[in-house]
Amino acid sequence: MKNNPKILLYILMLSSLGINTPLSIIGIISEISQYFNTSIAISGLYVSSFTFTIAICGLFVPTLFSRFERKKTFLSILSVFALANFVIIFTDNIFIASFFRILSAVFYPAFISIALTVCEEIAPEGEKQDYITKILLGISVGSIVGLPITTALGTIFGYQVAMFWIFSINFLTLILIVLFFPKISGKATSYKMSFSSLKSEEFILSSVGIVMMPIGASIVYNYLPYFLQTVSHIYTYKLSIFLFVYGVFSIFGTWLGGKLISMKDKLTLIVFQIVCASVFVALYFSVDYIVIVLTLILIFGILDGMGYNLIQYIETSVLSDNLELANGIFLSILNGGIALGIAIGGFLVDGFGVMSIFPAGTIFLLLAFILLFYVIYILKINLKYS
């Protein structure tokens, strides 16, 4: 099995799906608020603690785990996830729940970063982007398709049932690794973290530019269920069905993003920002027309799925000589942006109403467009497929 890259790829893809299910609780922020008796803003911070922790740990945790045998690493991390989510089911103390949610998030970067690195190493010539895209599809499926399932369970049966579902999928993923994942040696020594390339103008501006993408998208995405409930009056099973369709569109977007990058990377990186910002503006002014609103949200679903590929592609382009560091930074930027987006969105919803998420998301995407246009066409950063 070890010598069959396709089998190994799909095991990693399914494992990535399982480890991302804790992100799907964004659809039950209202239920979390009721269960812990907290405000929407505090519940948003509880949700974002997972992604914020990943953002902090993305730089150094993959370094610590890179020397260890891969199967033991994955088993250890998934065991922590299963234990943490089991405890979370039974506690009604938000501080205890936050501790265990943060604990599992500490180890997340090592899992995804090493999985992406292994995929780039085992991919046949000319198929690297396809292999990377499949891991990103696993991330997308776990966090986005998991959303309607978690939302349905949370809104119908309550927060604890939703958390039991997340524990179950984590535990099943652990069994999958035990039974089917081969032993693969780690590196003899951890890679040296050379930060000289992190000081360049190209890296700094590229990173600032792409972090604006998940911030802008997350401000909107994480409060779409709340928007659909309070403004569009879509509840329970109807909301879950629509979020599932959204997830399918997002998975297609992840696949499409990989293909477009391979064909037209520069154009894809620039056009993405403008199209996504335009969708947010259109949503703001079309709120009274439910068919238009739902159509625009599905278009956003495609764009949201593309974002994974775009961020990972830029980081591995500017840090092509150190893939584990690049993938760690990719995770830091993606999850840091998501965490900030959730936090900003929560305070906007509490202070100015849910409609404020759309202009805020637009502003961040326009900032991303300006910075990326500058680094791609003025500084002319090296991109892998250009």
DSSP 246-260: HHHHHHHHHHHHHHH
Q: What is the pLDDT of residue 356?
A: 92
DSSP, collapsed to helix, strand or coil, labels residue 324 as: helix
Q: What is the pLDDT of residue 1?
A: 46
Q: What is the pLDDT of residue 236?
A: 66
- Mention every residue, 6+ apart, whose C-beta is less than 8 A from residue 46: 32, 36, 38, 94, 97, 98, 101
Q: What is the pLDDT of residue 192?
A: 52
What is the token pair recorded at 325? Answer: 């560091």
DSSP, collapsed to helix, strand or coil, labels residue 93 as: coil
Tokens 């000319």 label which residue? 126
Instruction: Give 35-63 pLDDT, tens digit per residue.
Output: 998 887 788 788 878 878 888 888 788 87
Residue type, 280: F
Q: What is the pLDDT of residue 3?
A: 58
Q: Is 269 left (phi over 0), alpha (psi -120 to 50) or beta?
A: alpha
pTM over 0.85: no
- CA-only gyration radius of the chain, Å: 20
Residues of the chain with pLDDT under 70: 1-3, 143-144, 186-198, 236, 385-386
Tokens 């501080």 label which residue? 95
Q: What is the pLDDT of residue 118?
A: 78
Instruction: Give 78-115 pLDDT, tens digit per residue.
Output: 999 999 999 999 998 999 999 999 999 999 988 888 88
